[in-house]
Structure 1
Amino acid sequence: MNKLSGHHHISMLTKNGKRNNDFYTKILGLRRVKKTVNQDSPSMYHLFYGDLTGAAGTELTFFEMPVAGRTVRGTNAITRIGLLVPSYASLQYWKERFQQEEVKHSDITTYAGRDALFFEDHEGLRMVLLNHHGHEVPAHWQSWDGNEIPEEHRILGMGTVEITVRYLQRTVNLLKNLFGYTVVTESEKEAVLQSIAGEVFGEIVVKELEGPSEKPGRGSIHHLALRVASVEDLQEWDAKIKEQGFDSTGVVDRYYFQSLYFRDRNGILFEMATDGPGFTVDSAVEDLGKKLDLPPFLEEKRAEIEAILEPLE
C-alpha cells in the first residue's frame, strides 16, 4: 500500500454560491474548475476551485446551503486552512490586496514555523497564507493564467490544515499509527504531523481544546480529504480502517474520483480520495467550470436540477 501523498481537497459550507464564487475566483484568483451538485443532495451546488485542472492538493470545495446559519466555533472541528504562496513578498502583496478588497486579515506573522498572513472569507472561514519560500510543489500542480494575480504571487495549493479536538492523542494516534504520518513537533496541547516528511502540502496541526463541539454553519469546514494513489489502495485502506474499529462508508464512486469516508474518535470527518480520473473526464481543460457538469447517474434529472439552482454569474 502506498503512503498517503498529502491533502486531496477540503470541503466547506457556504450560504450563497454566487458570493462564494466571487470571493474565490475574483479576490483569491482561483479557477472554478467544476460547477456541479452535491451527489447526495442534488438540489445544492458543489463548487470546486483550484489550479488549472483542479489537481489533487489544490482543491477548495463548497456545498451551497441557503439555510445555513452562523457557525458557533468550538472544538472537535477542522478549524483553519493553509494556502501556500511563493514568497514573503507574496504575503506583502496579499496584505495590500486584502486591505483594498476589505478582506478581514492580520499583520504578517508566523504560523507552524512559517511566515503567515491570517485572513477570513466573507462568511468567516478561517484561512492562512503561508510562505513556501520558493520550494518545489507537486509536479502535477499547474498555475492558471486566467486571473489578475501576478504569477509570482498566485496561490499554489493547500498547505497546513488545522484540526482542533477535545482529546489530542485520539487524532494524533490515528494519523501516526494508522496513516503513517511523521510527527514533526509535539507538546501537551499541540502536534504537527506530515504525511510526507518535510513537505507542508500534507501537513496537519492538531490542537487540543476543551469545551463544546463546534456547531457547523456557513464558513465551517465539513471534511478533509487525503490523497490516495489508486482504487486498489483505497480498498486496502478501507479494510485497514475497519480493522481498527472505525465505521467506513466503503468505496463510493464520485465519478471525478473514488472516495471513502469515516470519522475519527473525536468525530472529525475524513475522506480518502483517488487522484483520478479527475475533472477533465467530462470537460476539456479550457472549458473546466464553465457549465453545470453532472455525473451520468444524474444526467436524466438535468432539467429538474437546473430549474432549482440560482445562476452564479
Structure 2
Amino acid sequence: MRQLTGLHHVTAISATIRQNYAFYSRVLGMRLVKRTVNQDDTSAYHLFYADGAGTPGSDLTFFDWPLPPEHRGTCSIIRTGLRVNGSEALAWWAEHLRTTGVWVGDIVQRDNRLTLDLEDPEGQRLMLVDDGGIGEFVPWQRSPVPVEYQIRGLGPVLLSVPRLELTDAMLRLVLGMQLHHTYVHPDFPEQPVHVYTIGQGGPAAEVHVVAQPNLPIAQAGAGGVHHVAFRVSTFVEHQDWARWLRELRIPNSGIVDRYYFRSIYVREPNGILFELATDEPGFAVDEPTDTLGERLALPPFLESRRAQIEAGLKPLDTD
C-alpha cells in the first residue's frame, strides 16, 4: 500500500555552520546524529540533528552553504515545527531561550495547541509545539536539556504559496494527504491556514498551507528552508511511489540512494521542493548508535575521497 506516514526531515541552509552546531546541539539540546557532507556538493557539511536515536521524523538538517540571508516571501516553507511535551516544557523553553539572546515570542494557543515561536541566530523560523507526549521519541541522555523538556521530533511545517489550489492538488491527489480543517493564524489573519494530515495525522504528520498571492517569491539563502521530506516505510513501498509518479508523468528525480535512506525529489506546482525518504536503513548503518555524529561519516562511494573532503571542511568543535 502506498501511504506516507509523516514528516521525515526538514533541510535548511546555514552560512555559519559552527554557530549552527553550537545552537542546535547546546542551546536546543538536539543530538548531532550524522556528521556528513552534501552528496552533491562535498565541500559543504550536511548535519543532521535529531532525537537520541536519530528516529525518522526527528531530523532537522542543514546544508553548510555561504549564502546571504534568505529573502523571505511566498513559494517557501516559512516555519518548521519542533515537538515538546506539555505547557511546562514550553514555559521552560521560553525562559531558557530568552537568556540566549535569540528572538522568541510568547506562548500562544494556535490551532488548538500551545506553541512558542522562535528564530535561530540566522533567522531560521521555528516553532515549539505541544504534542501531549504522543509519538515516537528517544531521549538523548547527554543533552544539556533535561529529558522532560527535550525536543521530541518534527512538528507541522507551514508553507506559503501564491495559489492554494495547485498545492492542494499535489498534497491530496498525488501524495494522498487529507484536508482536515482550517484555522486563522494571527500573523496573517486575512487568509485561513489549511491543515493537511498524513496517514494517521497528529503534529508529527501535518502540513499547514497559507495562500499569500501578494508576496514576492522567496529567494533561497541562509536562514531559509531548502526542502521538506515525507516518510516512506520501506524500499518496496518507495518503488511504488516512483512508479506512481511516472504514471502521472510528474517530473521527479527518480530514486536516489542517499545510503542512510533512499529519496525521490519532486517539486509541487508552486515550486517548493518535496522529498519522499525511506525510514530504512537509518543512521546506524555505518556507525554504532552510541557514537553517532562524532566523526565525519561518508557513504561508501565517497570514502576514497575522504582526505580531500576532510581537508576542505571546517572543524565544528572550534569556538
Question: What is the TM-score with the length of structure 2 in the denominator?
Answer: 0.94
Aligned residue among 160, 164, 169 for 2:160: 164
Answer with 281-290 or 243-252: which moved more. Answer: 243-252
Q: CA deviation at 1:186?
A: 3.8
- Map 1:59-208 → 2, pairs under 5 A: 59-66=59-66, 68-134=67-133, 136-138=134-136, 141-186=137-182, 189-208=192-211
- Map 1:272-287 → 2, pairs under 5 A: 272-287=276-291
Whether 2:246 is the aligned partner of 1:242: answer: yes
CA distance in 1, matches of 2:246, 2:30: 37
Q: CA deviation at 1:112?
A: 2.6
Q: CA deviation at 1:245?
A: 3.2
Q: CA deviation at 1:189?
A: 4.3
CA distance in 1, matches of 2:282, 2:200: 26
Q: CA deviation at 1:122?
A: 0.4
Q: Which amino acid aligns with 2:295?
A: K
CA distance in 2, matches of 1:14, 1:234: 29
Q: Which amino acid aligns with 1:105?
A: V
CA contact (8 A) 2:6 2:201 kept: no
CA distance in 2, matches of 1:155, 1:175: 27
Q: CA deviation at 1:197?
A: 3.7
Aligned to 2:187: none
CA distance in 2, matches of 1:247, 1:111: 36
Q: CA deviation at 1:246?
A: 1.6
Gaps of 5+ in 2: 184-190
Q: CA deviation at 1:239?
A: 1.8
Aligned to 1:220: 224
CA distance in 1, matches of 2:262, 2:201: 27
Matched position secondary structure for 1:201: coil
Matched position secondary structure for 1:108: strand
CA distance in 2, matches of 1:267, 1:92: 37
Gaps of 5+ in 1: none
Q: CA RMSD in A?
A: 1.2
Aligned residue among 273, 279, 288 for 1:269: 273
Matched position secondary structure for 2:99: helix
Q: Could you list the structure 1 runs, at least 4 aligned residues long, displaced by more than 4 angstroms after superposition.
A: none
Q: Tell me the alpha carbon deviations over residues 260-311 of structure 1, each in whole angstroms, 9 at most, x when there is no partner.
A: 1010111110000001111101100111000000001111111101111010
Q: Which amino acid aligns with 1:302?
A: R
Q: CA deviation at 1:198?
A: 4.2
Q: Tell me the alpha carbon deviations over residues 28-58 of structure 1, each in whole angstroms, 9 at most, x when there is no partner.
A: 0000001000001101100000011211100
CA contact (8 A) 2:235 2:280 kept: no
Number of residues paired by the alignment? 309
Aligned to 2:55: 55
Aligned to 2:188: none
Aligned to 1:304: 308
CA distance in 2, matches of 1:63, 1:91: 28
Question: What is the TM-score with the length of structure 1 in the denominator?
Answer: 0.96
CA contact (8 A) 1:51 1:156 kept: yes
CA contact (8 A) 2:2 2:240 kept: no
